[in-house]
Amino acid sequence: MTATTTAPTSYVDLAPSSAARKVAAGASALFGVALFMTVASIDVPHRATDAELVRWWQQSGNRMSGIVSGLSAICAAVLITVVLNYLGRLRATERAPQWTAFARSMGAAVAAVWLVTGAARATISRLVDVIDEPLPGVDVLRFATALNYALLGLAGMGVLGLAILAVSVVVLRTDVLGRWVGYVGMGCAVVILGATLAQYGAYVTLVAIAWAFCLAVAIWRQPQD
């Protein structure tokens, strides 16, 4: 009597299901929406006098916009993780293991930075409206605004640009998705990284949003790797 054993199926041998593909495509599209809401839901006045800045933050509606922006940034952090985890499970990505690992590492960095960005954007609103503390002085308000812009325009967009670059290289090397999205991603990554180096990263958020929607289309149209 011969005993037979069946080797356990490894994680990487399991091709994502059609449902997983649809979830990843939806997550990519929602990631674009979350990026938009992060920057569009709050507009702290530029070059405002001390009195103007304090008056702006005294408005409860303006403080609430900080909460919305912060929650949107947190959603973006979660959604990019869903997308990159899906891409990492596609068997074709095994042909570019280094770039796939780099993409997932940068995805983790994006999630970490955008989680911090979300907390920073909601700090003043939570301090006043949730903890019931008085509104900080104008110096703190200016510092919080500068910190938010630095987190988004420098750290946030920098790691996001690197993640887009890595994903695009994986796509072009493995044909895991349509090559067109790889070329689109390369162009978007160059623009984002260039703008980040020039200290204008926050101004090219729309480029990252466009990439997210393009990636959503590519994933939706690719039922299997």
pLDDT at 88: 86
- Summarize the confidence of residues 62-74 as an average pLDDT: 94
What residue ranges do the domains of the chain occupy?
A: 17-220
pLDDT over 50 at 14, yes or no: no
Least confident among 10-14, 66-70, 191-195: 10-14
114 by Cβ neighbours in 10 Å (0-12 / 13-18 / 19+) ranks as buried
- Kindly report the pTM of this predicted structure: 0.86
pLDDT over 60 at 1, yes or no: no
Least confident among 3-7, 113-117, 183-187: 3-7
Angle at the Cα of 68 from the Cα atoms of 138 and 66, rounded to 5 degrees: 5
The closest alpha carbon to 225, from 29, 17, 28, belongs to 17
- Could you read off the pLDDT of 163-210 as tens digits, one per residue? 999 999 999 999 888 899 999 999 999 999 999 999 898 899 999 999
Rounded CA gap, 86 and 25, in Å?
9
